Amino acid sequence: MMKFFKKAAVVTLSVAMVTTLFAGCSSKKKDDKTWVIGTNAEFAPFEYVSKKDAVINDYAGIDIEIIKKIAEDNGKKIKINNMEFDSLIVALKNKQVDGVIAGMTVTDERKEEVDFSEPYYVAKQVMIVKEDNTDIKTAKDMEKKTIAVIQGFTGEVAVKELGYKYEAFKKGTEAIQELKNGKCDVVVIDSATANQYVKDNKGLKIVEDDEAFASEEYAIAVQKGDKKTLEKINASIKKFKEDGTIDTISAKYASSSDSDSDTEEK
Ligand code: ARG
């Protein structure tokens, strides 16, 4: 008796699973009006959660505005799938998302797994230290210091390449907290996000070293070989670079929390 129920349960479960599988397939094929876009919304000013600034659902930021424009340009809707940064490339490879916009730097390693659009933003790594710090003036000065990076970010790769020891945190906010608590001396992270942290947290400053840190380009990633989506995205990026849309969006976020740096505008 028990055995029969077990078997029946297994059969029912399998049928349910197969049905879900097919349902998944067909609904994906049917709805080519929607792009499912992966991001990690813990990277202001590019993507963050905010009811106040909301652009798509509760997501805001330069990337969210850019992808919204690109979607509109192609008659698509966007569904944002917020996940850990480290999961984004996996999600693309598993076809759980159609694209990724996440302040993601184009690297040769990543290019082996996904295809990148034309770049839409240029960034670099910088160092965040406490305002009264006087010993870190160049990247070399980090050698004997306690360094924090964010796991899987290009900042981690950069510090690794310099050959220094570091601790990797899951989130930028954790690394910044560590710095504020005096548990580490320096956080290495992308420039615009560093500016945002310094704006939002008292007592921090940025140290740059353009010789140690090369410039990086952010691009949208798509599934490897997905020429159709890539061509659409590239055409829109080209258009929005030329007509100033991307500059306008970036400028809006760069100044949005500055107190009165815009007073001269007419
Ligand atoms: N530009 C860096 C990279 O590609 C950091 C990007 C982090 N983005 C994010 N949405 N958390 O690794």
**Mean pLDDT to the nearest integer, 126-136:** 98
194 CA from centroid of ligand 1 (Å):
12
User: So what's the pLDDT on residue 230?
Assistant: 98
189 CA from centroid of ligand 1 (Å):
9
Site to substitute for ligand 1 among 85, 150, 191, most atoms within 8 A of C-beta:
85
pLDDT tens-digit series, residues 144-175: 999 999 999 999 999 999 999 999 999 999 99
**Mean pLDDT to the nearest integer, 44-65:** 97
264 CA from centroid of ligand 1 (Å):
33
Site to substitute for ligand 1 among 82, 153, 189, most atoms within 8 A of C-beta:
153
**DSSP letter (8 states) at residue 204:** E
165 CA from centroid of ligand 1 (Å):
20
Rounded Cα distance, 182 and 202, in Å: 14
Cβ < 6 A, ligand 1 pocket = 39-40, 42-43, 47, 85, 102-105, 153-154, 190
Cis peptide before 119 (omega within 30 of 0): no
User: Residues near 188 by Cβ (< 8 Å), separated by ≥ 6?
Assistant: 125, 126, 127, 128, 142, 147, 148, 149, 155, 156, 158, 159, 166
The yes-or-no verdict on residue 68 having pLDDT over 90 is yes
137 CA from centroid of ligand 1 (Å):
24
- Residue 153 CA: nearest ligand 1 atom is 12
5 CA from centroid of ligand 1 (Å):
50
Name the closest-CA residue to atom 12, ligand 1.
153
153 CA from centroid of ligand 1 (Å):
5
User: So what's the pLDDT on residue 31?
Assistant: 79
**Mean pLDDT to the nearest integer, 93-101:** 98
User: Mean pLDDT in the chain?
Assistant: 90
102 CA from centroid of ligand 1 (Å):
6
Q: Is-contact 233 220, C-beta < 8 A?
A: yes
Band the pLDDT of 254: cuts 50, 70, 90: confident
Residue of higher predicted confidence among 22 and 127 = 127
- Residue 154 CA: nearest ligand 1 atom is 12
Band the pLDDT of 122: cuts 50, 70, 90: very high
**DSSP letter (8 states) at residue 99:** E
Rounded to 5 degrees, φ, ψ at 43 are -145, 60
**DSSP letter (8 states) at residue 260:** S
Tokens of 78: 């966007």
Rounded Cα distance, 230 and 220, in Å: 9
Band the pLDDT of 206: cuts 50, 70, 90: very high
Band the pLDDT of 262: cuts 50, 70, 90: very low
Band the pLDDT of 12: cuts 50, 70, 90: low
Site to substitute for ligand 1 among 190, 191, 197, 216, most atoms within 8 A of C-beta:
190
